[in-house]
């Protein structure tokens, strides 16, 4: 089994602004048909890197190559047919219809009047179906919710019919369900269409779950490459996001606040789902616990009862249990 082909590479790339290097000496690669996540904390330079890779910002040093050709040698129109963008911000003109906006993606292919032929229209139709935006084709973009709008922007990028799609924090303004939908949509697209997708994000959970490959921004302004799991096991993820206040729980796969040593342990036994969420609530009040004890959860998740072992205290609501535990 061979690795998929590398489409985009960077050689010793340094990006940033006139007086400031943001990320440096990057040797990156994007493999065809994979979803790669650029993960890093806020302000770590992800947008700068994305813009430099897409050719809309000049790098400070090094070069970016697509299919072994430097992007400085690719003319604007060719580039437009190779790489399309989806950016974070809400775009301005609200009274463009969704259809009109998506069809703007055909810009590099249409004649000077921008007229659409049948194959253009078919592609627009497909892009809107695949992103679930067909239902609002005739509505004005200003009437849509943030999630719907981002799907339209993705449709626009699809219509541009490029090998590579680069997204800069597309889920930044979105709520959880929308965020999950978008990540799944992108994953789906790589599988269905073979497109190569690069997405920058600070959503650790979504990145770990959805990406075939990760680019992790490290504190020393370099970027580590690998499978999400490789970067977790090697400790890179903890180094990238952790701090004095936060540690990474390797079993749970989550960051959590450092707790002062807890001297007292509360054991919870019972049905697994009830145990998990009871422990979750108890962890929050850890500092109030003054002695060891054991809690038994009886019944089913729909009809639970909490019993504190060694006492005759029984509670049928978690609120009451917690306020009891806080006061003893």
Partner 1 sequence: MNRSSQGSNKWRLLVILILAVVVLMLLDLGLGSVRIPIADVAKILVGGAVNNEAWQAIVLKIRLPRTITAVLVGAALSVGGLQMQTLFRNPLAGPSVLGITAGASLGVAAVMLAAGSAITAFTIRSLGIGGSWLIVIAASIGAALVLLAILAISYRIRDNVVMLIVGIMVANITIAIVSIWQFFSNPEQMQEYILWTFGSLGGVTTSQLQVLGLIVSLGVLMTFALSKTLNALLLGEDYAQSMGLNIRKSRFAIIGVTSILAGAITGFCGPIGFVGIAVPHLTRSFLNTSDHRILIPSCVLVGAILMLVCDIISQVPGSNTVLPVNAITAMIGSPIVIWIIVKRRNLKASF
Question: Where do contacts with partner 1 occur on this chain (CB under 8 A)?
Answer: 51, 54-56, 76-77, 79-81, 83-85, 87, 91-97, 99-101, 104-105, 107-108, 110, 112-114, 137-138, 140, 142, 160
d(CA 152, CA 149) in angstroms, rounded, equals 5
Pair of tokens at residue 100: 């009109």
d(CA 172, CA 8) in angstroms, rounded, equals 25
d(CA 90, CA 189) in angstroms, rounded, equals 23
Say if CB 21 and CB 60 are below 8 A apart.
yes
Nearer CB in complex with partner 1: 8/231: 8
- To partner 1, the closest distance from the beta carbon of 35 in angstroms equals 20
Query: For residues 315, 319, 324 and 325, what is the CA-based torsion angle, rounded to 10 degrees?
Result: 110
Nearer CB in complex with partner 1: 101/214: 101
- To partner 1, the closest distance from the beta carbon of 160 in angstroms equals 7
Say if CB 282 and CB 319 are below 8 A apart.
no
Nearer CB in complex with partner 1: 92/245: 92
Pair of tokens at residue 70: 């430097």
- To partner 1, the closest distance from the beta carbon of 105 in angstroms equals 7
- To partner 1, the closest distance from the beta carbon of 39 in angstroms equals 22
- To partner 1, the closest distance from the beta carbon of 213 in angstroms equals 23
Nearer CB in complex with partner 1: 85/216: 85
**Ramachandran angles phi, psi of 46, nearest 5°:** -60, -45
Nearer CB in complex with partner 1: 164/295: 164
């Amino acid at each position: 089994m061979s690795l998929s082909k590398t489409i985009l590479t960077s050689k010793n790339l340094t990006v940033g602004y006139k007086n400031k290097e943001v990320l440096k000496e990057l040797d990156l690669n994007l493999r065809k048909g994979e979803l790669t996540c650029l993960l890093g904390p806020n302000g770590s330079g992800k947008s700068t890197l994305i813009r430099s890779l897409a050719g809309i910002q000049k790098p400070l040093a090094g070069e970016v190559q697509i299919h072994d050709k430097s992007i400085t040698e690719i003319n604007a129109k060719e580039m437009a047919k190779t790489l399309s963008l989806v950016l974070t911000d809400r775009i301005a003109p609200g009274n463009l219809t969704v259809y009109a906006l998506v069809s703007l993606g055909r810009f590099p292919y249409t004649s000077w009047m921008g007229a659409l032929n049948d194959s253009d229209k078919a592609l627009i139709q497909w892009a809107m179906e695949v992103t679930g935006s067909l239902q609002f084709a005739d509505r004005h973009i200003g009437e849509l919710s943030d999630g719907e709008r981002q799907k339209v922007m993705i449709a626009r990028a699809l219509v541009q019919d490029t090998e590579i799609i680069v997204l800069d924090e597309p889920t930044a303004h979105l709520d959880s369900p929308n965020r999950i939908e978008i990540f799944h949509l992108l994953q789906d697209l790589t599988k269905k269409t073979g497109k190569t997708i690069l997405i920058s994000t600070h959503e650790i959970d979504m990145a770990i779950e959805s990406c075939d490959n990760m680019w992790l921004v490290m504190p020393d302004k370099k970027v580590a490459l690998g499978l999400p799991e490789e970067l977790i096991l090697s400790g890179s993820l903890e180094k990238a996001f952790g701090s004095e206040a936060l540690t990474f729980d390797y079993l749970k796969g989550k960051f959590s606040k450092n707790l002062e040593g807890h001297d007292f342990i509360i054991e919870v036994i019972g049905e697994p789902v009830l145990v998990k969420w009871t422990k979750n609530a108890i962890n929050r009040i850890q500092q109030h616990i003054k002695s060891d004890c054991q809690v038994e959860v009886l019944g089913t998740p729909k009809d639970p009862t909490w019993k504190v072992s060694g006492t005759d205290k029984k509670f049928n609501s978690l609120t009451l249990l917690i306020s009891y535990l806080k006061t003893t």
